Amino acid sequence: MRKALALLLAAVLPLSGAAAVLGAQLVLRDRETAVTVEEEILYGTPEAAGDLQAVVGTHCGNNLSWLTRFSPGKAEKAEVRFAFFDAFTYTWEQPTASPLTVDFASTSFGGQWSSGSEEDWWANMEHSHLMVLPIRDIASRTGAGEERTETVDLSHYYDVYPLHLSINSGTMGVYSSSVSAEEQVTDFFSFPVLHGTMAEITVRRDETGTLAEINCNQDGYFPAISAVYADNECAYLYFNREDGSPSLDVSRIAGGYGLYRMDYHPAEEAVTYSDGSTATWSDALHLDRIETVLPLEGTIRQAVVTPDGEKLLVLWEGDGMLHLAVVELKSGRLVQQLDLLPITEGLGLSETEFLGDALLLRLGDGTLAVAAPEGEEYRLALSAKPTDAALAPYLSDGVENGRYRWNASVTAFDGERLALLYPQDNSVVSPLVLLVLNADGAPAFAARYHHSADDDRGGWPPVMYDDPDWRYKEQTPMYLSYS
């Protein structure tokens, strides 16, 4: 949602030196605290919105910042905080990847010979998780001074895809699977290499017969088998079996397709080279157990850990329905299976986010749904499809694109009502629309808000909404909250 909003509302235009800063100050001189918010009620009364507050950040260039707070029915009492900074501080970081993954041995790679024996090089390639058997075969038939290119069927060399584990955790560090763990995880999933899985391989030897260069290319990618949760002792893994080309045969998986639990521990591992020398790897991950804790007939779309860290919410699709499975994190016990919503093929789950303890789901067809906790189980607390057609009997919010409501909205939920705040169009400081939906999906309240910073769009640099990616610590992406 933040990325979608960034595309619609945010642009970061750096100021060039003191002259640009002075220009910004001249454009907005004596207006630092004169920002106002005008409200136009489109449907209902402000009381129907509940105790709701909106926070909107705006900025000019890389120096001037306004933070505006307002509530439905009280826009004329908006609170404004102005600040001038010598320069905004860039703070964006690359999102962290899954702490633990199960990866397929690479079938597309290349390299040039460096040093050491050829056998050690093959061993190092295998340790780097490359499918080297067909390359070794072609290399054995390549003479001195010769370059050989062949297209081979990988199924002639491998019955199943070699797999390996890797973990990158702030608590554990960086580990890669031991040889025994690779064998265990490969045997567990046992993904067959289908007949007709072709790879083009080139091997070149120099005039002395020394292996000089190899290249291997194979079309297709494979689904990421990643951890929704991982600690020092165990991880829960899942993958979307429809993601990837070629598609995977999951019929051999021990325990079936679904959610998997893996128990492990780090330990040293000794490696022996062809000359008899040994080396000790201190970052080896040893596998104690892997099992399917939640077999499923469909495919998992997303899995998330609840804010209290006690449960896993697994969202999966099957038979035209989006389902929710609740799993106790500590034990792996299945707490609940819930049918949530009918789902259209190809327009499935887009993204999820927690609103307090409740989980908001955004579907590709415009449906919004909230799953809320009730005891240790969950219930479907709200579902709505706020399209133009659905809203027409009640109101017209004038939005340029109805997808803004479910793709580019910031949200809040009070247990009964879902509030959405979204742009009317894709201009720099677009008017904002607030839509509050009841549990049955019908509107309870709607209003349009005009932020007076919009009046300064003719100035340079222009006033803009703060970047929803929150790349600068002085900026605050807009949000809604219930008191």
Mean pLDDT of all residues in 448-465 = 76
Contact, 364 vs 347, CB < 8 A? Answer: yes
Contact, 78 vs 37, CB < 8 A? Answer: yes
Answer positive or negative: Cα dihedral of 339, 343, 346, 352: negative
Mean pLDDT of all residues in 112-125 = 70
Burial class (CB in 10 A: 0-12, 13-18, 19+), 301: buried
For the chain, percent of residues with pLDDT exceeding 90? 54
Of the two residues 172 and 314, the one the predictor is more confident about is 314
Determine the pLDDT at residue 12.
Answer: 31
Rounded CA separation 389/386 (Å): 8
Q: What separation in angstroms does the CA of 379 have from each of 84, 298, 326, 358, 439?
A: 47, 21, 11, 10, 12
Determine the pLDDT at residue 170.
Answer: 55
Rounded CA separation 239/260 (Å): 10
**Residue 377: pLDDT above 90?**
yes
pLDDT digits (tens, 9 = 90+) for 26-36: 444 445 556 78
Contact, 288 vs 264, CB < 8 A? Answer: yes
Determine the pLDDT at residue 116.
Answer: 62
**DSSP-assigned letter for residue 462:** P
Rounded CA separation 458/4 (Å): 25
pLDDT digits (tens, 9 = 90+) for 80-102: 999 999 999 998 777 666 788 88
Rounded CA separation 271/324 (Å): 45
Answer positive or negative: Cα dihedral of 29, 30, 32, 35: negative
Average pLDDT, the chain: 85
pLDDT digits (tens, 9 = 90+) for 130-183: 788 998 999 999 999 999 999 999 999 999 998 888 776 655 556 677 778 888
Structure tokens that stand for 382 in this block: 């709200």
Question: Which of 18-22, 190-194, 423-427, 440-444 bottoms out in mean pLDDT, i.e. has the lowest?
Answer: 18-22
The residue to which tokens 């919004």 are assigned: 368
Rounded CA separation 383/473 (Å): 35
pLDDT digits (tens, 9 = 90+) for 388-416: 999 999 999 999 899 999 888 999 999 99
pLDDT confidence band for 228 (50 / 70 / 90) = very high
Ordered DSSP codes for 56-110: EEEEETTTEEEEEEE-TT-GGG-EEEEEE-SSPPB---PPP--SEEEEEPBSSEE
**Residue 445: pLDDT above 90?**
yes
Determine the pLDDT at residue 307.
Answer: 95
Determine the pLDDT at residue 158.
Answer: 92
Coil, helix or strand at residue 34: coil
Stated as kind and residue range, the H or E segment containing 18 is: helix 17-27
Rounded CA separation 265/188 (Å): 18
Determine the pLDDT at residue 185.
Answer: 92
| Count of beta carbons in the 10 Å neighbourhood of residue 322 | 22
pLDDT confidence band for 344 (50 / 70 / 90) = confident
Range with top average pLDDT, 42-46, 171-175, 474-478: 42-46
Rounded CA separation 325/114 (Å): 51
pLDDT digits (tens, 9 = 90+) for 238-259: 999 888 766 789 999 999 999 9
**Residue 58: pLDDT above 70?**
yes
Count CA atoms closer than 13 A to 188's CA, side-chain side. Answer: 23
| Residues forming beta bridges with residue 358, ordered by sequence position | 355
**Residue 338: pLDDT above 60?**
yes
Question: Which of 10-24, 380-394, 450-464 bottoms out in mean pLDDT, i.e. has the lowest?
Answer: 10-24
pLDDT digits (tens, 9 = 90+) for 175-216: 677 778 888 999 999 999 989 889 999 999 989 888 888 888
Q: How many residues does the chain have?
A: 483
| Residues forming beta bridges with residue 378, ordered by sequence position | 373
**Residue 5: pLDDT above 60?**
no
Rounded CA separation 158/30 (Å): 73
Rounded CA separation 318/327 (Å): 18
Long-range contacts, 233-236 (Cβ 8 Å, 24+): 233/263, 233/264, 233/265, 234/261, 234/262, 234/263, 234/264, 235/99, 235/100, 235/167, 235/261, 235/262, 235/264, 236/260, 236/261, 236/262, 236/293, 236/303, 236/312, 236/327, 236/329
Determine the pLDDT at residue 459.
Answer: 65
* CA 396, chain centre distance (Å): 33
**Residue 274: pLDDT above 60?**
no
**Residue 19: pLDDT above 50?**
no
Mean pLDDT of all residues in 59-65 = 90
HEC secondary structure over 288-353:
EEEEEEEECCCEEEEEEECCCCCEEEEEEEECCEEEEEEEECCCCCEEEEEEEEECCCCCCEEEEE
Mean pLDDT of all residues in 263-274 = 71
pLDDT confidence band for 470 (50 / 70 / 90) = confident
**Residue 6: pLDDT above 50?**
no
Which residues, in sequence order, are CB contacts of 431 under 8 Å at separation 6+?
Answer: 423, 424, 425, 448, 449, 450, 451, 454
Structure tokens that stand for 137 in this block: 């075969």
